[in-house]
Amino acid sequence: MDSLSQIVLGAAVGEVVLGRKAGNKAMIYGAVAGTIPDLDVIVGNFYSTVTALEIHRGFTHSLVFSLLAAPLFGFLISRIHQQATWKDWSRLMFWSLFTHPLLDCFTTWGTQLLWPLDLRIAFKSVFVIDPLYTLPFLVCLITASRYSRTSVNRQKLNRLGLILSSSYLVFALVMKGVTFKKFEEALQQQGIAYSEIETKPSPFNTILWSANVKTEDAFLIGEYSILDTQPIDFRIYPKQHDKIDHLRTYTNLKRLIDITNGWYTISQQQGELYLNDLRFGLISLDPDAKKFAFSYHLEERNNRLKITEVPKDTGDARKLLPALWYSIKGN
């Protein structure tokens, strides 16, 4: 999830664990702990594109990291603040650290919660930024922080924020199940043979969902809003995997393909090859759109393959919002 959501979650968890003893300091240190796992993004800047992708949501998002880091941070905080013991601060840091990857498991990227096992958990039920998850939670947290640390209202408001945000995650899972069934029915009605289907919410909401469908030679992408009254249309994107057959000896390409879990297409523009990661969909809802959220330029030079992420155009994101709202309202 986005940094604000993780800060709010970490602060709320910190309040539950140690709020009565440490007051707003519990929220502050919980918020700090909620941001620590995402420091792997900074570390990734010192590595190649593919390695940075592998590092993201790896070790720092694991149970092992939370268990190892919590006592260390707890000890350091206990030397500064005497309101609670080292064990108390360690417990706060553990839960604020560990709930970060737990929340990330609901998104699309995949979280290596059980590192060192090579298993990435991704429920794909919430977008990385969802105001309906974050804003009510934030309002409850800020309001709670204005009461004294022993106030019953403080505890009730903080718990209300946790209940609302957690309920929204459950709601998102229910919506995923409902819309998944709709996509399956549409494929059956249209007589489309497929081997696999993945669904995920569109940006900022859980009303409009998209599906990636794997067929023999192509991928299909379709959208469905629970307010829709018309049949689901699926757009075709040829795999074109044969275009990179001459590059398959490069290990970094194999690693990139492994990261996509096989959900990728190859496109060619002006003689240049690009690998498009389908897991995160397109930047636009335009039926003719071809710009994917994550694309990687493949450049072979001097018996080496250089892989570079294609920068995103902020203009495309601005165009997405009105189209998104139009699609959420139903066709």
User: 116 preceded by cis ω (within 30°)?
Assistant: yes
Q: Residue 32: what pLDDT?
A: 98
pLDDT tens by residue, 270-293: 999 999 999 998 876 665 567 888
Neighbouring residues of 108: CB distance < 8 A, sequence distance ≥ 6: 122, 124, 127, 128, 200, 279, 280
CA distance 277 to 309: 11
Determine contact, residues 297/310, Cβ cutoff 8 Å: yes
CA distance 44 to 309: 13
Confidence of residue 83 (pLDDT cuts 50, 70, 90): confident
Mean pLDDT, to the nearest integer, of 7-29? Answer: 97
pLDDT tens by residue, 26-66: 999 999 999 999 999 998 888 999 999 999 999 999 999 99
pLDDT tens by residue, 163-218: 999 999 999 999 999 999 999 999 999 999 999 999 999 999 999 999 999 999 99
Q: Which of 38-47, 104-113, 125-134, 284-293 has the lowest mean pLDDT?
A: 284-293
